Amino acid sequence: MRRAIDTLFGRLVVIVIGMLVLSHVAWFAIIRFERDNVQTRFAVEEAAFLVEAVRQHITNTPDQPLPPRVRVVALNSAEVPKALDEDTPPPLQRFVEDLKDRLPDGTDVRLNEPGGPPSVWVHGAKDAGWIVVPVQPLRPPRSRDRMVVWLAVIFTAAVLAALFGAWQLQYPLRALAQAVQRFGRGQPTPVVPERGPRELRQLTHGFNQMVQEVSQTDNDRAVMLAGVAHDLKTPLARLRLRAEMMDDEKMRDGVVRDVDSMAHIVDQFLVFAHDRPDGSEPVAVDHQCERIARAYRAVSPGGEPIRLSLDAGPSFALPAATLDRILSNLLDNAHAYGAPPIVIETQRGAHGWVLRVSDHGKGIAPDDLIKASRPFVRLDPARGGSGHSGLGLAIVERLARRAGGECEVGNRADGGLQIEMTFPFDVATRPVAERRPGSQQEERAL
């Protein structure tokens, strides 16, 4: 199953959001800590300033009244609060300790009892009574809530900006990955727009240049191969005509058989050199397999060389011309090198539609399996024969890849060669208009 975390965009999103969460949590903790420290320092400085101002007022102008909420209380007054104990909150204990450090040595500092206006009681060595001055509350009730709201707004904006940046970064990479996949399957690959960072633009430019050079080389090879094969068809036709006019029947049959073999090789060359995408309409694979099996049985009515096991259903569809070429090459190959019965199977697999053709012959040596689908490779003497160019399996693999599938050549457990092709669900059933190169659907996909 495809997971979002496996994509570049998914991993970028996880990394970016994780970093943003970590940084915002750290900043929130730092801001809270610093806010408390700043608030405590401000309250300490304010209280020390007021205490010193009261002392100057008592010394210089004792007959003048004190400001509101500032007063001097006798030492033995019943209003004097108790000293701090272990139950006092840590911020208040820190405030008292900092204020003592700020005032002269030996100064006694106490806080007002809870429930009244916040104030601090100070008594120094030279003071005649307790100096009571107001202080600011150390923890405003709404500061934390306001801070959380602002952090949430900033975090949301940062996440949206990061997601947009991650999408902009992975978009050209996704287009390049899709183009690489098409190129690897042998399908027509349009030019990938060169976007993104400099390194990505350089990579895209190199890929486009490579595709252009490989395509030009393939075109030159296909033109040369098609030209040679086409030029050979006319002299072969004349040679066959002359062979038909021979008097010696045995020699005539041998020459005609050789000419037919050469004509078959020429046809294989033309099919292999055909480099254009299949524009035929999709047909149901099961129905087409039944039709081709009936045609082969009609050629050899004495036996049953082909068995069918068609379980894919009508939803499995491939281009008609591609499917005919695949089955024709595989059946010819099985008749020439394998042994009956030949089995054609279709089914709905876990990862896509499966088309499988197998025979009951000797199969291919394990060391030669990797070479079986290479063009112009004949695995003589085990699978040699006249009239074959070594292109049958190479053509099948190319056609399967051009249709969006994968081809695997192997041996059956109980003997015989098996060709298994797997086609993705979303590729094998696409309408022909979506499979043609340059279509709007493919442009949107890139």
Can you tell me which residue has the tokens 């390049």?
Answer: 176
**Mean pLDDT score, 97-103:** 88
Q: Determine which of 4-18, 111-125, 186-200, 263-277 has the lowest per-residue pLDDT on average.
A: 263-277
331-360 pLDDT tens trace: 888 887 788 888 999 999 888 999 999 988
Residue 1 scores a pLDDT above 60: no
202-217 burial by CB neighbour count: b if 16+ within 10 A, else e? Answer: ebbeebbeebeeeeee
From the list 330, 266, 265, the residue with the least C-alpha distance to 292 is: 330
Query: What are the structure tokens assigned to 89, written together?
Result: 């909150």
Residue 432 scores a pLDDT above 60: no
**Mean pLDDT score, 224-247:** 71
Residue 144 scores a pLDDT above 60: no
Instruction: Quote the pLDDT of residue 373.
Output: 58
**Mean pLDDT score, 17-45:** 78
Alpha helical stretches, state H, 245-304: 249-273, 285-299
Q: Is 348 helix (H, G, I), strand (E, B) or coil?
A: strand
Instruction: Quote the pLDDT of residue 435.
Output: 46
How large a percentage of the chain has pLDDT more than 70? 75
Instruction: Quote the pLDDT of residue 354.
Output: 93
Instruction: Quote the pLDDT of residue 158.
Output: 80
Instruction: Quote the pLDDT of residue 269.
Output: 60
Residue 70 scores a pLDDT above 50: yes
Instruction: Quote the pLDDT of residue 357.
Output: 92
Residue 442 scores a pLDDT above 50: no
For the chain, the straight-line distance linking the first and the last C-alpha, in angstroms and rounded, comes to 22
The pLDDT-based confidence of 239 (bands split at 50, 70, 90) is confident
**Mean pLDDT score, 238-267:** 73
Residue 212 scores a pLDDT above 60: yes
**Mean pLDDT score, 78-105:** 84
Instruction: Quote the pLDDT of residue 438.
Output: 42
| Whole-number Å distance between alpha carbons of 213 and 396 | 25
Highest mean pLDDT, choosing among 231-235, 274-278, 340-344: 340-344
The pLDDT-based confidence of 414 (bands split at 50, 70, 90) is confident
Phi first, then psi, for residue 380 (nearest 5°) are -75, 150
Residue ranges per structural domain of the chain:
4-134, 186-276, 280-445
Helix, strand, coil share of the chain (percent; to 5): 55, 10, 35
β 342-348/317-319 pair status: unpaired
**Mean pLDDT score, 236-242:** 75
The pLDDT-based confidence of 227 (bands split at 50, 70, 90) is low
Residue 207 scores a pLDDT above 60: yes
Can you tell me which residue has the tokens 């709404």?
Answer: 142
Instruction: Quote the pLDDT of residue 337.
Output: 79
Residue 173 scores a pLDDT above 90: no
Instruction: Quote the pLDDT of residue 443.
Output: 39
Instruction: Quote the pLDDT of residue 142.
Output: 47
Q: Does residue 187 or residue 357 have the better pLDDT? A: 357
CB 105 within 8 A of CB 132: no
CATH topology of domain 186-276: Helix Hairpins (1.10.287)
Instruction: Quote the pLDDT of residue 145.
Output: 59
CB 55 within 8 A of CB 103: no
Contacts of 90 (CB under 8 A, 6+ apart): none
Q: Determine which of 50-64, 74-88, 244-258 has the lowest per-residue pLDDT on average.
A: 244-258
Residue 149 scores a pLDDT above 60: yes
Considering the chain, what is the average pLDDT of its residues? 76
Instruction: Give the distance between the most distant pair of CA atoms in the chain.
Output: 153
**Mean pLDDT score, 106-125:** 84
Residue 385 scores a pLDDT above 50: no
Q: Determine which of 144-158, 290-304, 378-392 has the lowest per-residue pLDDT on average.
A: 378-392
DSSP-assigned beta bridge partners for residue 348: 353
The pLDDT-based confidence of 413 (bands split at 50, 70, 90) is confident
Alpha helical stretches, state H, 106-142: none
CATH topology of domain 280-445: Heat Shock Protein 90 (3.30.565)
CA separation, residue 9 to residues 6, 126, 155, 189, 279 (Å):
9, 72, 19, 23, 35
Instruction: Quote the pLDDT of residue 427.
Output: 62
DSSP state of 3: -
CB 66 within 8 A of CB 54: yes
Query: What are the structure tokens assigned to 306, written together?
Result: 């082909």
The pLDDT-based confidence of 128 (bands split at 50, 70, 90) is confident
CA separation, residue 259 to residues 254, 265, 332, 347 (Å):
9, 10, 18, 40
DSSP state of 132: E
**Mean pLDDT score, 35-43:** 76
The pLDDT-based confidence of 328 (bands split at 50, 70, 90) is confident
